[in-house]
Amino acid sequence: MKVGVLALQGAVSEHCRALAACGARVKEVRTPAELAKMDGLVMPGGESTTLRHLLRNGGLWEPLLAWEKPILGTCAGAILLGRGSETLGRMAMELDRNAYGRQQESFEADVALEAGEPFPGIFIRAPVIVFTDDNCTPIAWHNGNIVGAVQPPHMALTFHPELTGDRRLHQRWLEMVSR
Ligand code: GLN
C-alpha cells in the first residue's frame, strides 16, 4: 500500500510523517504520473482557491476528477472534496469557508469523536461542514458544528490532525485505503 501526499502547498511533510508513523509507505505527489501510482491521496490544507489553480496548472485536476481511490482532505482539501461549483465533489457535503471569521482565525480546541478521547483540533481559517447527505457521515464535532465526515473511502477534516501527535484519524483513513 502506497499513499501520496499532494505536495503543492500546506503541511506536506507533517502529513508524510503522520502517515509513516502509522506504517504507510508515503510519497509526495506533484504530477499525474506520480498520482497514478498511489493507492490513496492526502490533500493538505492551504487555500482552496489557490489549491484549485495549482491543480489545474499542474494538469492534476482532470486526473483527480477521474480518480476513484481514497482521498483524505484536510481544511482546504476538505473544501475541494465537498460539493460546490468548482470542487471535486467527491463527498455529499457542503462547507462554509472561513466559517469562524476574522476574530477567530486560528485556535486549538477539543474535537469530539464518536468514541474515545477528544481529538486535539487545530483550526486555521477553518471551514465548517454545514450539510451532509446520503452516505456522508459526520465523525467529528466542535461546538455543535460538524468538523469531520467520512464517505468511504474518503474522509474530510476541517482541522489539521497532521499538526498534532495524535494519529487516530490518519490511521482510520489508512484502514479505508487498505480495504
Ligand atoms: N480558509 C481556507 C480556504 O478557504 C482554508 C484554510 C486552511 O486550509 N487552513 O481555502
Atom of ligand 1 nearest to the CA of 77: 8
d(CA 46, CA 171) in angstroms, rounded, equals 22
Pocket test for ligand 1, best of 6, 9, 42, 47 (most atoms within 8 A of CB): 47
Residue-level pLDDT at 85: 87
**pLDDT tens readout for residues 49-87:** 999 999 999 999 999 999 999 999 999 999 999 999 899
Cα–Cα distances in angstroms (integers) from residue 116 to residues 19, 80, 150, 163, 169, in the given order: 21, 28, 17, 20, 12
- Average the pLDDT over 93-106 and give the result: 88
Task: Please tell me the distance between residue 75's alpha carbon and the centre of ligand 1 in angstroms.
Answer: 6
Residue-level pLDDT at 105: 83
Q: How confident is residue 104, by pLDDT bands cut at 50, 70 and 90?
A: confident
pLDDT score of 103 more than 70: no
d(CA 150, CA 132) in angstroms, rounded, equals 10
Show the ligand 1 pocket: residues with CB < 6 angstroms.
45-48, 75-76, 79, 97-98, 124-125
Cα 124-65-139 angle, rounded to 5 deg: 45
pLDDT score of 115 more than 80: yes
